[in-house]
Amino acid sequence: MFGLGKSKNLKVIESLKNQGIGGQSVMYKLFIKALNVPDEKIRKIELTYFSLSVLTYVFLRTYDGTEKERVIDEASISIINASIPNCGEVISKNQAITEYQRRYQEYDVLLRPLFSNKDVDPSTTLLMHFYEQVVQGSAKGAMIKIVAASSLVHQYVVDNIDFVKQKL
């Protein structure tokens, strides 16, 4: 009832799942409100890939618990399973996992500069790439909005760091 019998890893997996699913909602609102993208143009499974990529990136670099690769793998599969029925596409679990793995590699490269002082504005580059994946088109016409909203993406990453460090 209160989770007293659950192992620490199961509790962490459950918390990661809740964080990952909640992150999709945050990113959806960013696209609707800050970037003015109509709902029908939002590829919702891409919101899953992005929020899960950020969460995975942060978790693997900041979590001190045991078996972190197994824990994040289980949480990732759980998040993908929960997201598929609501993504508005017909996509298999295997297809979504394969696509996520490919997308994680892309986002990983774009997330790294956020943790160094070498790049001028890595949040804008990250959001620009994310935008193009979500709308499946060019970000050229939305660059002013993307630049203005890039601080929100940066804060989203920071919020995930705080979540892992403080809640897990």
Full pLDDT tens readout for the chain, 168 residues: 444 446 888 999 999 999 999 999 999 999 999 999 999 999 999 999 999 999 999 999 999 988 899 999 999 999 999 999 999 999 999 999 999 999 999 999 999 998 887 767 899 999 999 999 999 999 999 999 999 999 999 999 999 999 999 999
Q: Is residue 21 part of a domain?
A: yes
- pLDDT for 116: 80
Q: Is residue 1 part of a domain?
A: no
Contact 101, 89 (CB under 8 A): no
Q: Which residues form the domain of 134?
A: 8-167
Furthest CA-CA distance within the chain: 53
Amino acid at 157: V
Q: Is residue 2 part of a domain?
A: no
The count of C-alpha atoms lying within 13 angstroms of the C-alpha of 79, restricted to the half-sphere facing its C-beta, is 33
Instruction: Give the CA dihedral 22, 74, 103, 63, nearest 10 degrees.
Output: 70
Match 């590699």 to its residue by tokens.
105
Structural domains counted in the chain: 1
Q: Is residue 151 part of a domain?
A: yes
Question: Is the pTM value of this prediction over 0.85?
Answer: yes
Q: Is residue 3 part of a domain?
A: no
- pLDDT for 147: 95
How far is the C-alpha of 37 from the C-alpha of 116, rounded, in Å? Answer: 30
- pLDDT for 6: 60
Match 């500069």 to its residue by tokens.
113
Query: Nearest CA to 124 among 104, 107, 143, 141?
Result: 143
